[in-house]
Amino acid sequence: MSKEVLIQALADMREEEAVGLARQMVESGADPLDILDATRAAMDIVGQRYEKGEYFLPELLLAGEMLSQISEMVKPLLAKTQAAKREGKVLIGTVAGDIHDIGKNIVVFMLDANGFEVLDLGVDVPVQKFVEAVKEFQPQVVGLSGFLTLAFDAMKETIQALDAAGLRDKVKVMIGGGSVDEHVRAYTGADAWGRDAMAAVNLAKQWIGG
Amino acid sequence: MNPRIFVLACATVIEEMLPLMPPGAGYEVLDFGLHINPDRLRSTLQERVDQVPDSYDVVLLGYGLCSQAVIGLHARRHILVIPRVDDCIAIFLGSRAAQREQNAREPGTYYLTKGWIEVGDTPFAEYDRLVQRYGRERADRVIRLMLNHYTRLALINTGQYELDRYREYARRTAERFGLRYEEIPGSTTLIEKMLHGPWPPDEFVVVPPGETVRYQDFYPPDESECAARGLDSRGSENPEHPSSPQGGHSGD
C-alpha cells in the first residue's frame, strides 16, 4: 500500500511526502528492494510524462534529487542484504567537451538500483581517462553520455581509442543522451544506444546477464 | 543571375541575418522555443518549407543540426541549404571550427546573444519561470542543478549591434548565477556565406529538390569524404541544380 503511495508522491513531485514515506518504510523494516522498485516505477511515470510534454527538465532534476536522497537511505540496507551479489560492472561518463550530466546521473542511479557496480567518471572526461579506467576497473559495459551533438565526435574518438588500446572486444559500449539515435550509434561505432535510463539498464542486463 | 533565397530562421538567428539580407530575399521567423522539442521543430520546419512560394529557388535555413531536428527535411521544388554546423552558436561565432575551439577551451559555457536575451532564453528568464511554477526554494535548487558544471557566461558580440544594454544584462546574469563573465568576438562570416554563397560542401549541406537531409550530411563516416558525399555526388545526380549562387541557376 505505502509503496503505491510512494510511487504517486514521487511521480507527482511531492518531495517532502515522498522522502518522508521512504524514511518511514526504511524505519519500519520494509524490503529495501521494494523501495527501489517504487523509485523505478516512479521514474518510469516521470519519463512518460516528460515524453508527453507534461514534464520538463526541472521535473527530471527534482526527480533525480528525490532519488538520490532515497538511495542514500536505502543503500546501507542493500549493502547488508546483497553485498556480494553485484550483477556486473559498468563504467560511465559524459564524454570530452560536454558537461551535461542530468540524464547520466539518472542512468547511474538506475544501474546502481538494479544491482550493477557503477564507476562514474563525471563530465568532460578525456578519451585517455576512459581507456585507463577500462584497464583498471575492468567493466563489462562502458556507457558514454553526451547531450550536445558536438559530443558525437568525442564518443567516436573514445571508442576508437579503446580499439587502439586493444580493449574494444573486452567491453560492450552503449551511448545515450540528447539526440543520440541509431545514426549516431553507427557513426560512433558503439554497440547500442538507449533512449532513457531503463534502456541502459536493459542493455546492461542483456550483456552481463542477471 | 543569383538565385532567389527564402530564409526560414529561428527568432534568435534572424536578428543577426536581417542586417545582411540581400535585396529580394524573403524570410519567415520561427519561434525560438521550438528547439527544445526537435520533433516539433522538424514538423514545423517541414510545414513551412512546403509553403515557400515557387518564385524562390532556394530555401535557406537559419538553423544548424539542432538536435537532429533538420534530419529528414526535404523540399519538393526548392534547393535546401543548411549551414553544416551543430547549432546556432557556430553561426554566431562564424564557423563550426570557431565553435569547437570555444567549446574545447571551456565546455561549461552558457552563451548569450542579443537574440537570446530578447526572446528570453536566459538563466534569469528561466529562473523566473521556475519561481512561478515551484516557488523560490525549489527554483533555487533547480537552477543550480541546471547550471551545474557551467563556469562561464559568454556574450557573443557579432559587431552588428550596440551591445551596452545586453552587456549589462549579461554581466548581471553571470554575477547572479556565479558564472565568470566574458565577452567573446562573434563573426558575420558564416551568415554572409549563408546569404550570399558560395556554399562549399565542407561548410554547407545543399540538398537538391526531392532529396532528404541525412545525418551523414552533417557527420559523414569519414570527415575527409564530406566534400564528395555532401555535394559532388548529389550534384552529379542532379547536374541541373548547381550548388551555389554562383552556379548560374536561374530558377526560371
The structural domains of chain A, with segments of one domain joined by +, span 2-82, 89-208
Q: Kindly state the cell numbers that stand for B135.
A: 516557488
Grade residue B240 by pLDDT with cuts at 50, 70 and 90.
very low
Among A168, A37, A29, A52, CA closest to A115? A37
Q: Tell me, what DSSP letter sits at residue B184? A: E
pLDDT-derived band of residue A37, with 50, 70 and 90 as boundaries?
A: confident
In the predicted structure, residue B229 carries a pLDDT above the cut 70? no
Per-residue pLDDT band at B96 (split at 50, 70, 90): very high
pLDDT of residue B80: 98
Q: Could you give the CA distance from residue A10 to residue A36 in angstroms, rounded to a whole number?
A: 12
pLDDT digits (tens, 9 = 90+) for B196-216: 989 999 999 999 999 999 999
Q: Let me know how long chain A is.
A: 210
Chain B closest CA to A53's CA: distance in Å? 9
Task: Give the model confidence (pLDDT) of B50-72 as tens digits.
Answer: 999 999 999 999 999 999 999 99
Choose the closest CB to A58 out of B87, B142, B218: B142
CATH superfamily of A89-208: Cobalamin-binding domain (3.40.50.280)
3-class SS of residue A179: coil
Please give the pLDDT value at position A135.
98
Q: What is the ipTM of this complex?
A: 0.83
- Best A61, A62, A121 residue to mutate vs chain B (most B CBs within 10 Å): A61
Cβ-based contacts of A180 with chain B (< 8 Å)? none
pLDDT at B244 over 60: no
What CA–CA distance (Å, rounded) separates A11 from A60? 10
Min Cα–Cα distance to chain A from B24, Å: 34
Q: Which of B55, B65, B115, B107 is nearest to B86 (CA)?
A: B65
Q: How far is A97 from chain B (nearest CA, A)?
A: 5
Identify the CA nearest to A102 among candidates A39, A166, A143, A57. A57
State what percent of residues in chain A have pLDDT above 70: 96
d(CA A138, CA A34): 30
pLDDT in tens, A84-104: 457 799 999 999 999 999 889
Q: In the prediction, which pLDDT does A81 show?
A: 60
pTM for this one? 0.85
Longest dimension (CA), chain B: 62
The answer regarding whether domain A2-82 maps to CATH 1.10.1240.10 reads: yes
Each domain of chain B, given as residue ranges in start order, spans: 5-89+189-247, 98-185
CB contact under 8 A, B67 and A149: yes
